Chain A
Amino acid sequence: MLHTQTKSLDVESIRKDFPILQRKVHNKPLVYLDNAATSQKPGQVIEAIDFYYKNYNANVHRSIHQLGEEATAKFEEAHQKIADFINADSYQNIVLTKNTTESLNLVAYSLTAGLKKGDEIVISQMEHHSNFVPWQQLAKQRGLKLKFIKIDEEGKLDEESIKENITKNTKIVSITQVSNVLGTINPIEEITKIAHENNAFMVVDGAQAAPHMPIDVKKLDADFYAFSGHKMLGPTGVGVLYGKKELLESMQPFLYGGEMIREVRFEDTKFNELPWKFEAGTPNIIEGIGLGVAIDYLNEAGMKQVHERDKELVEYAMERLKEIKGVAIYGPKERGAVASFNVHGIHAHDVSQVLDSEGVAIRAGHHCCMPLMSVLGVAATARASFYLYNTEQEIDTFINAIHKVKKVFGV
């Protein structure tokens, strides 16, 4: 792999690192445009997983033997790599979970435990179910009030609605950095300022942001930041929760059991230090190590370059989509690497099905955003999402496939 921090990405050489891109689907070359659902994995990550199981598979933090020490060192190193990736102070700020959903549940359970009836939580209309349902259900259980920042016609958070909703009664604000449907990039720094002026905690769903742009949790100043490994070239089964140290220290653990304890007596238990206090049971050792390797890969490519490349791809895709009569595109012009659309008169599932027959993989449905779908007034959308290994040529194949959809359906 020969790409430097200053030059743009060498897409040709990047593509060679992803074995799955050689695959054919229905006898056509795979065009994988479902990266917002999960990304593909480079050989480096796949080999690291293989190497672990063949060479140093052991449990961490307990086994006094060579393999145990090697596994522990690698697992801890992965926490440090993740911390550096988002500019956190220390590995102690990094809790490994199963996925973004679990990270957000952890925060939601722990933070709402200290709230009183009538306290308010503010989220937005564009939240993914993972940053929606936990707050909604805990608000119901604990008598809290859940409020929603509205989106404007373009699909951005409405500035007036942000100010109206975040008040002195607000205790928690939880917002996605990049919408998985609209692609909207939300002004997290500004919203965090408003949340903090009102003494509320700021939680960020970074699932669609961390894989695609440089993240600096210090600059954002958010109290919590959640994301998933599998959307950023890593394996499934590992998510991240970043939290400010003093907050993580003051919070009750979310899961109890082994690994998260320092001392257990019949009467009571002392919890382990951070971050292990939140990683109960045998953790996702190889998934964590694999995510570390994925981060190495992204660092070598350069997150600035990844972000620039994403922009080129999504802008090209939007331009080409606009050429097609009867295609409606959702979301603002400035956006992350997703393009949601509908073809007039054809259900998104049918669009996706015909695209699949051309080897093109996209997502169709409500994208785990049913409340947002109701705001947009649609049952479903089709969504193409891009990553560093995609090419303009693949987007051309995708566009040609949409013309085929229209032909099949005679519209």
Chain B
Amino acid sequence: MMYQENILDHYKSPRNFGRIGNATVHHHEYNPLCGDEIELYLVIDENKKVIDVKFYGRGCAISLASASMLTEQIKGKTLDELKNMTKEDILEMLGIPISPVRLKCALLSLDTLKNSILIFEKYVRK
């Protein structure tokens, strides 16, 4: 069953939900297939460690729960550690069977994170 208690809990009370005014990097991803949207705000210190994170968005239970759980994992990690995160890490984190059509929902937050890091490295801290 996809909608286990922890998934629904993260969906209904997402952790780190909101925006950060002075974020080091802020990025927005959109999944046009379902209309899911995730905005990710990262505060990154001089050691390239994420010291604060928030996300904002709308979407299905899978994409929002995935984003909420991911923000819990992000805090305190360095960008290099985060860059190594894979699809498998997300699936393990969710701990539920994800059908191929819902994979995009599950991975939207990871895509947002990866692209946020790319933007940070390309434009914010050269």
Given contacts A347-B61, A408-B3, A409-B8, contact A353 B35 (CB under 8 A): no
Question: Nearest-CB distance from A386 to chain B (Å)?
Answer: 23
Q: CA separation between A124 and B11, bound complex, in Å?
A: 36
Does the CB pair A354–B3 fall under 8 Å? yes
Does the CB pair B12–A349 fall under 8 Å? no
- Chain A hits for B12, CB < 8 A: 410
Q: CA separation between A373 and B32, bound complex, in Å?
A: 11
Q: What 1/0 mask marks residues of chain B from 45 to 84 whose CB sits below 8 Å from any chain A CB? A: 0000000000000111110000000000000000000000
Indicate if B124 sits at the interface (CB-CB under 8 A): no
- Chain A hits for B59, CB < 8 A: 347
Does the CB pair A347–B8 fall under 8 Å? no
Q: What 1/0 mask marks residues of chain A from 379 to 410 whose CB sits below 8 Å from any chain B CB? A: 11000000000000000000000000000111
Indicate if A365 sits at the interface (CB-CB under 8 A): yes
Q: CA separation between A373 and B60, bound complex, in Å?
A: 16
Name A408's closest neighbour in chain B (CB-CB).
B3
Indicate if B85 sits at the interface (CB-CB under 8 A): no
Does the CB pair B1–A380 fall under 8 Å? no
Does the CB pair B35–A350 fall under 8 Å? no
Name B1's closest neighbour in chain A (CB-CB).
A357
Question: Nearest-CB distance from B99 to chain A (Å)?
Answer: 8
Q: How many residues of A contact B (CB 8 A)?
A: 19
Name B30's closest neighbour in chain A (CB-CB).
A379
Does the CB pair A353–B102 fall under 8 Å? yes
Does the CB pair A380–B35 fall under 8 Å? yes
Indicate if B2 sits at the interface (CB-CB under 8 A): yes
Question: Nearest-CB distance from B100 to chain A (Å)?
Answer: 13
- Chain B hits for A350, CB < 8 A: 3, 60-62
- Chain B hits for A81, CB < 8 A: none
- Chain A hits for B58, CB < 8 A: 379
Partner of A373, one of B11, B35, B61, B62: B35
Question: Nearest-CB distance from B122 to chain A (Å)?
Answer: 30
Does the CB pair B34–A365 fall under 8 Å? yes
Given contacts A350-B3, A350-B60, A350-B61, contact A379 B34 (CB under 8 A): yes
Q: CA separation between A79 and B33, bound complex, in Å?
A: 36
Question: Nearest-CB distance from A62 to chain B (Å)?
Answer: 41
* Residues of A331-369 whose CB lies within 8 A of B: 346-350, 353-354, 357, 364-366
Q: CA separation between A141 and B102, bound complex, in Å?
A: 36
Indicate if B105 sits at the interface (CB-CB under 8 A): yes
Indicate if A370 sits at the interface (CB-CB under 8 A): yes
Question: Nearest-CB distance from B57 to chain A (Å)?
Answer: 11
Question: Nearest-CB distance from A389 to chain B (Å)?
Answer: 25
Name B60's closest neighbour in chain A (CB-CB).
A347
Name B35's closest neighbour in chain A (CB-CB).
A379
Question: Nearest-CB distance from B32 to chain A (Å)?
Answer: 7
Q: CA separation between A353 and B106, bound complex, in Å?
A: 14
Q: CA separation between A350 and B59, bound complex, in Å?
A: 10
- Chain B hits for A409, CB < 8 A: 3, 8, 11, 61
A350-B3, A350-B62, A366-B35 are known contacts; what are 10 more A-B pairs with Cβ within 8 Å?
A347-B59, A348-B34, A349-B34, A365-B33, A378-B35, A379-B36, A380-B34, A409-B61, A410-B8, A410-B12
* Ranked 4 nearest A-B pairs via Cβ: A379-B35, A347-B60, A349-B60, A350-B61
